[in-house]
Structure 1
């Protein structure tokens, strides 16, 4: 046993001292007893003198320091363990000696390579140091800290808002999802009341609910007793939430954690589903769902009205109860189309009602898929089209009747046309001959009796000759008008530049009227003789009715995509609006026939020719300033020759 005396043994703890002899700090136990006591303690212990030399260390200190006491007694601690220089232990031990005060600290010992807890006590001759291994405790603390970090990470990564409050409902934790949900920063929320984030009408009930919950032994429950509850964002906007609450007691205080979920989208979806369900339920159309093996799984009121079965009568039955035997193949075809991702819309077919009668329906189908996109069934929408089918049958019947009438009428028209041909022949031969005789006779009288006739007689003869010529022109005009559309037209492509130039030369306008024709008139399709009549009538009328000393007539054209548009403009008297349509009627003139030589057939002829060529004709006019006649011709032969 190592012998120590009261001069070399450091004073370790107050209980070893005689409290009545504080001046001398005398031991109340013997040195041997003190040695045995220090050797038996579980903590490592060593003593240092004022020169930092070891004066004692117990067996535990030998174990932890890895050195025998014989190798350390009398040696300077900083020389034996130079790695301790400039460490926390070095600083704290110097502070304890300098300030003559007890210090306690935790440090990672480089020489020991683990964490220790150290207590340093000043003595009359130096320092007493006891230390023990706290590696296990540090590991536990690290695990706790890591758990806290992981928990914090989980809480902040959670999709739901997580808020912890104390028993006064003041917030102590406010996660990232809560910040997003309430538009409120955690730093601003912590310390505020939880009621800040709910509408005022919930405050009393919510406080009572948490108070009652805190009196129970239940750790977690859903907040359902308040019914539907709402959260309150920082901007005052309310939104529906779902909540659960848990409680825990720590350090004598209750803490409540509330987990909140914004269910706005779910509520909207539920409302949408409710509206959809109402639509499905109240729809006049049959909406039916079935499995792939044809078993009916849903049946709305529209289906009940159309087919006569109630839902209880058909759910669980095969859809084939609605299908006539000769239509059973349709189901297989429908299934093939569904698997091929093809649409089936408005497929008209026949189905059976409960009473066995048939009903016409228009069927549309859609695939029912599970969450993985796998087809698990079919939804059918069937519209009752019986009335439509009956109407279609009636229309078909009327069309057939109308077709018969058209054929009969066509035969009548052919007969009428034949009669018109005969009439034209009679007019051409039987009426023209007397007119020629009257004209010839008047000419003879004027020649043979010129000296016997006075001025009035000669005027009368001239009047007879003029009127018979006009009658001849009217008959010729009627014949031309009647032939349009009845005689097959000779459709060709021809040059309008040449045609219009010929017409202008033929009409030989007086020098007081200037006629200008636009350059590069297009090549057109049509009956060249008929189109010549159009230009001849329109330009001839502009010349005939010119009332200005100096007149102007212009022919121009424009490209109107699918048509050519032509315009014949003059500076004549103009035409009043009330006559814009009337002048296209046969035998209509705006001036007395004795004043202007006109049969009243020209514009009617123009309109009929243009319409025969699938064009249209119209005019624009300002009285006293002039008139512009417009007409169009299609660009292609196909449009002109197309039969109506």
Structure 2
């Protein structure tokens, strides 16, 4: 029985492969471009990027094969990963290892195979970049070298993908990075319009970029080539991953050029990514060679790689065009190139590079290096290179050749990632200091808790990790509450609210929690982070406050009842005294005038006492009785107040036309204006009293002024007049309870406003107050 080959380091190799997280991933254009290029360069109908796990070989990218994987036991690539060089089978039917292989005897009828191992930086062969044909063949040395170079590029892409997923995503438009290409490169959308074109389009066809983008590409195709073009494009709808064809395109001057196209669709958008070459002036004999060289240059330009060769005998240095592009140099003679090349290596990196090259020259070891390229303007590029020594027939090392790649974007991205990683660590540290943090997977299983979480829940880390988050469920909240949380976060929305949880010892605690779902690329949550603060004491305080408010409301009701009883009991004897005095006066119509005056004084004191009782009751109720707001026309209200409290003669009244209509407790604002206007009338000492009611709109407030031309109020009394039972004049001169302004002040301050006085003796008084909008 034939035994399948297994590398000695198979366990470590499989572990290395797993770390790349590449198996069963979606197609990516960077890899598709390489397999297409390998197929083209090697002239084979099939090219695969094959990765081998324990049981199967899986194709990250394929050209010409309709399956995504095959059993490892059938694979040719299992032999390719056993060595470092290209593994080639020229005729599988004549090879005892493969003659009876199902892939040889049946579909896809393999006859030829060549695979370059995909060896990572640790020496593990992850798979191979292979080309396959249905007929026997032999690769040329140039094709083998190109296949190895492309395999090296695959490994670099895999390394980049492993280190920076975002970088891989940014490379989805891999073939767009060819603005400098001399070939015609474009993106055409699914509607058949040019979406993007590169400058070569304008050079070859003569149209401006604006004239081409947004224009149907069929408008430029020669009428005789339309059917052929439609047939080729139609293959893409049948599953072809790439098509190659030629057609004629009309230039702006009316002439036609022959273009050779390679077109691939984007599986996500359906857009066509196209590369065309102008074949009009090419000689037929040079077509294949020029096409191969051009494609190689383009692939290096797209991948930002270059190739080089240095002859140690002649000191001749040869660069590919991609290498020149990376160093931003024009093509130079070998001696000038060597000098220009070294002048652009960062001085701090030059010594290490020389040591690495010298080690390869003496020992023949593989060359690995990286350095910075320093340009005259001070800008930098980061490059990484690999190389191998080559020998003459005498087994003497006579030169070194290799590849170089511009990894500036990747390096800068990694630097940003490192910076962001540090920032995230700092944020996490700050959260751990101040918040209660837990992370669960999509099923609610706890995967992380910080120290604050463990402190408040009284569980250890080992007791929490791997447990359902229901471990702290208090059972306090109804099922609907819990279901609402789950529905909210499962739909990718943030949930915020208060939750009562239970600690390990059975005690309860309250948290204000924000649960944030982490979404994958499909918009589905894959984990949740809960950030909480301990509000147990606040909840207890609120409960105590609610209890106190209930007690306060009860006491207020008792106080109202008490005040009613007291006022009733106080008013009853006052009314009796008043009635008795009136009876005495009626029964003694001829009593002395002095006695009659004393009775009138007695009834006045009784009236004052009753007003005082009413005022005290009214003052005590302000702020304790809820009054609904209503739309109030203040100008209309003031006119009514003036009609009721201001005498018809002896006063001039001015009411501001700008007085607004506002939403307020009408009875309270009416009481304020009535007190102020009646005071202006009561204390006015001028032959013609003047009262002005003015208005001014302030940010966030209404401001009102009640101004009179009375005797004024000395500054020392500006605050005193607002105190309960305080009057400026003796009550024998002006009848007053001393409560009216106290009520006014309390009403205004309860509403969030303020009141103050502007006045001087004999210069009138202005009461100015504000209420919020």
Q: TM-score, normalised by structure 1?
A: 0.55
Determine the C-alpha separation between the residues in 2 that align with 1:443 and 1:165: 143
Q: For residue 381 of structure 1, what is the aligned residue in structure 2?
A: 530
String of CA shifts for 1:131-179, please: whole Å, max 9, x gaps.
Answer: xxxxxxx877543332222222222222x46485868899956749966
Question: Residue 384 of structure 2 contacts residue 405 of structure 2 at CA under 8 Å; is this kept in 1?
Answer: yes
Question: Residue 513 of structure 2 contacts residue 533 of structure 2 at CA under 8 Å; is this kept in 1?
Answer: no
Distance 1:431 1:265, change over 3 A: farther
Query: Which of 497, 501, 512 does residue 350 from structure 1 map onto?
Result: 501
Q: For residue 245 of structure 1, what is the aligned residue in structure 2?
A: 386
Question: Residue 694 of structure 2 contacts residue 705 of structure 2 at CA under 8 Å; is this kept in 1?
Answer: yes
Determine the C-alpha separation between the residues in 2 that align with 1:190 and 1:408: 98
Distance 1:215 1:580, change over 3 A: farther
Determine the C-alpha separation between the residues in 1 that align with 2:457 and 2:663: 61
Q: Does 1:201 align with 2:343?
A: no
Q: How many residues get paired?
A: 465
String of CA shifts for 1:486-537, please: whole Å, max 9, x gaps.
Answer: 799999989436524524652632xxx6433445977899999997775565
Q: Counterpart of 1:221 in 2: which secondary structure?
A: strand
Q: For residue 155 of structure 1, what is the aligned residue in structure 2?
A: 300
Query: Which of 252, 267, 281 does residue 415 from structure 2 map onto?
Result: 267
Determine the C-alpha separation between the residues in 2 that align with 1:484 and 1:478: 10
Q: Counterpart of 1:484 in 2: which secondary structure?
A: helix
Distance 1:631 1:372, change over 3 A: closer
Distance 1:630 1:465, change over 3 A: farther
Cα deviation, residue 266, structure 1 = 2.1
Determine the C-alpha separation between the residues in 1 that align with 2:643 and 2:483: 73
Determine the C-alpha separation between the residues in 1 that align with 2:459 and 2:424: 22
Q: For residue 82 of structure 1, what is the aligned residue in structure 2?
A: none
String of CA shifts for 1:226-258, please: whole Å, max 9, x gaps.
Answer: xxx65546543568x462333577997656643
Q: For residue 392 of structure 1, what is the aligned residue in structure 2?
A: 539
Distance 1:197 1:475, change over 3 A: farther
Determine the C-alpha separation between the residues in 1 that align with 2:603 and 2:685: 25
Determine the C-alpha separation between the residues in 2 that align with 1:177 and 1:432: 119
Question: Residue 285 of structure 1 contacts residue 382 of structure 1 at CA under 8 Å; is this kept in 2?
Answer: yes
Q: Counterpart of 1:350 in 2: which secondary structure?
A: strand
Query: Which of 463, 471, 478 does residue 612 from structure 2 map onto?
Result: 478
Determine the C-alpha separation between the residues in 2 that align with 1:559 and 1:587: 33
Question: Residue 439 of structure 1 contacts residue 469 of structure 1 at CA under 8 Å; is this kept in 2?
Answer: no
Q: Does 1:580 align with 2:718?
A: yes
Cα deviation, residue 212, structure 1 = 2.5
Determine the C-alpha separation between the residues in 2 that align with 1:176 and 1:445: 131
Cα deviation, residue 423, structure 1 = 0.8
Q: For residue 471 of structure 2, what is the aligned residue in structure 1?
A: 322
String of CA shifts for 1:541-585, please: whole Å, max 9, x gaps.
Answer: 435545678764323456789997653212345434553332122
Question: Residue 364 of structure 2 contacts residue 389 of structure 2 at CA under 8 Å; is this kept in 1?
Answer: no
Q: Does 1:416 align with 2:563?
A: yes
Larger radius of gyration: 1
Q: For residue 57 of structure 1, what is the aligned residue in structure 2?
A: none
Q: For residue 34 of structure 2, what is the aligned residue in structure 1?
A: none
Q: Counterpart of 1:502 in 2: which secondary structure?
A: helix
Distance 1:406 1:554, change over 3 A: closer
Determine the C-alpha separation between the residues in 1 that align with 2:672 and 2:488: 60
Determine the C-alpha separation between the residues in 2 that align with 1:325 and 1:528: 49
Query: Which of 647, 650, 655 does residue 506 from structure 1 map onto?
Result: 647
Q: State which drifts further: 515-524 or 210-219.
A: 515-524
String of CA shifts for 1:337-389, please: whole Å, max 9, x gaps.
Answer: 55433444446143563x777766666544455555555x433426474xx33
Distance 1:623 1:344, change over 3 A: same
Q: For residue 554 of structure 2, what is the aligned residue in structure 1?
A: 407
Cα deviation, residue 206, structure 1 = 2.8
Cα deviation, residue 210, structure 1 = 3.1
Cα deviation, residue 419, structure 1 = 1.1
Cα deviation, residue 272, structure 1 = 2.3
Determine the C-alpha separation between the residues in 1 that align with 2:728 and 2:501: 66
Determine the C-alpha separation between the residues in 1 that align with 2:665 and 2:498: 49
Cα deviation, residue 399, structure 1 = 3.4
Distance 1:555 1:436, change over 3 A: farther
Question: Residue 539 of structure 1 contacts residue 568 of structure 1 at CA under 8 Å; is this kept in 2?
Answer: yes
Matches within 5 A, 1:177-576: 193-194=340-341, 196-197=343-344, 199-218=346-365, 221=368, 223=370, 232=374, 234-236=376-378, 241=382, 243-246=384-387, 257-262=403-408, 263-277=411-425, 279-280=427-428, 283=432, 285-290=436-441, 292=443, 297-298=447-448, 300-302=450-452, 304-306=454-456, 317-319=466-468, 322=471, 337-346=488-497, 348-351=499-502, 353=504, 364-373=514-523, 375=525, 377-381=526-530, 383=532, 385=534, 388-389=535-536, 392-393=539-540, 395-397=542-544, 399-400=546-547, 403-404=550-551, 406-408=553-555, 410-430=557-577, 445-446=592-593, 471=605, 474-482=608-616, 484=618, 495-496=636-637, 499-503=640-644, 506=647, 508-509=649-650, 514-518=652-656, 537-543=675-681, 545-546=683-684, 552-557=690-695, 566-576=704-714
Query: Which of 736, 742, 745 does residue 599 from structure 1 map onto?
Result: 736
Question: Residue 289 of structure 1 contacts residue 299 of structure 1 at CA under 8 Å; is this kept in 2?
Answer: no
Q: For residue 61 of structure 1, what is the aligned residue in structure 2?
A: none
Q: For residue 590 of structure 1, what is the aligned residue in structure 2?
A: 728
Question: Residue 389 of structure 2 contacts residue 400 of structure 2 at CA under 8 Å; is this kept in 1?
Answer: yes
Distance 1:164 1:429, change over 3 A: farther
Question: Residue 365 of structure 2 contacts residue 389 of structure 2 at CA under 8 Å; is this kept in 1?
Answer: no
Q: Counterpart of 1:516 in 2: which secondary structure?
A: strand
Question: Residue 582 of structure 1 contacts residue 588 of structure 1 at CA under 8 Å; is this kept in 2?
Answer: yes
Gaps (5+ residues) in structure 1?
Answer: 1-137, 224-228, 449-460, 636-644
Cα deviation, residue 418, structure 1 = 0.8
Determine the C-alpha separation between the residues in 2 that align with 1:373 and 1:491: 48
Determine the C-alpha separation between the residues in 2 that align with 1:521 and 1:312: 71
Distance 1:276 1:546, change over 3 A: same
Q: TM-score, normalised by structure 2?
A: 0.47
Q: Counterpart of 1:146 in 2: which secondary structure?
A: helix
Gaps (5+ residues) in structure 2?
Answer: 1-282, 393-397
Question: Residue 457 of structure 2 contacts residue 503 of structure 2 at CA under 8 Å; is this kept in 1?
Answer: yes
Distance 1:521 1:278, change over 3 A: closer
Question: Residue 438 of structure 1 contacts residue 468 of structure 1 at CA under 8 Å; is this kept in 2?
Answer: no
Distance 1:525 1:431, change over 3 A: farther
Over the aligned positions, Cα root-mean-square deviation in angstroms equals 5.6
Distance 1:540 1:197, change over 3 A: same
Distance 1:590 1:394, change over 3 A: closer
